[in-house]
């Protein structure tokens, strides 16, 4: 895990890859729990028998399930210290570039793209690339926006 300490640590890290998480396996129970918690019961996620008859050959994870792994995987990669706290501020561009079939493994690669000092804190843009094991294309690429409160 990489520790980024204070504003000087952030400035020094701009443009750098912060690290790569461990692989996370996506199983049907996780997909089903996500479907239950969000109300997104679309059959491509929840009906293994029907999904097996599609070109995908199985159920697939919700794109938003993949994206929602960002905080958990970030905690494996880096921590930012020297500030009161930081919060999810939202996302810039998000693209789901490949399906995540049940049983697949994903990991996240994070790069600090920029920081901007604002009143009361700092905005950070971190590119999150969710790599899909065995695929040349990532499952998701997202610009995560973080607000650091100072």
User: Where do the domains of the chain lie, and which CATH numbers do they carry?
Assistant: 2-26+60-149 (3.10.129.10)
Give the model confidence (pLDDT) of 33-58 as tens digits: 999 999 999 999 999 999 999 999 99
CA-closest candidate to residue 100, choices 131, 145, 122: 131
Find the mean pLDDT for residues 123-144.
98
d(Cα 53, Cα 37) in Å, to the nearest integer?
26
**Statement: residue 150 has pLDDT above 90:** no
pLDDT at 3: 97
pLDDT at 65: 98
Strand partners, 2: 78
CA-closest candidate to residue 7, choices 142, 149, 104, 111: 149
Find the mean pLDDT for residues 89-97.
97
Half-sphere exposure of 115 (CA within 13 A, CB side): 19
């Amino acid at each position: 895990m990489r520790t980024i300490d204070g504003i000087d640590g952030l400035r020094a890290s701009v443009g750098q890859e912060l690290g790569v998480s461990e692989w996370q396996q996506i199983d049907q129970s996780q997909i089903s729990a996500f479907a239950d918690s969000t109300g997104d019961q679309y059959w491509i996620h929840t009906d293994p028998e029907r999904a097996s008859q599609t070109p995908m050959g199985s159920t697939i994870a919700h794109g938003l399930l993949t994206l929602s792994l960002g905080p958990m995987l970030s905690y494996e990669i880096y921590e930012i210290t020297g500030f009161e706290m930081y919060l999810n501020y939202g996302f810039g561009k998000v693209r789901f570039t490949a399906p995540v079939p049940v049983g697949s493994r994903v990991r996240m690669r994070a790069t600090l793209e920029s920081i901007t000092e604002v009143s009361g804190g700092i905005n950070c843009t971190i590119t999150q690339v969710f790599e899909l094991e065995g695929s040349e294309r990532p499952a998701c690429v997202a610009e995560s926006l973080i607000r650091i409160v100072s």
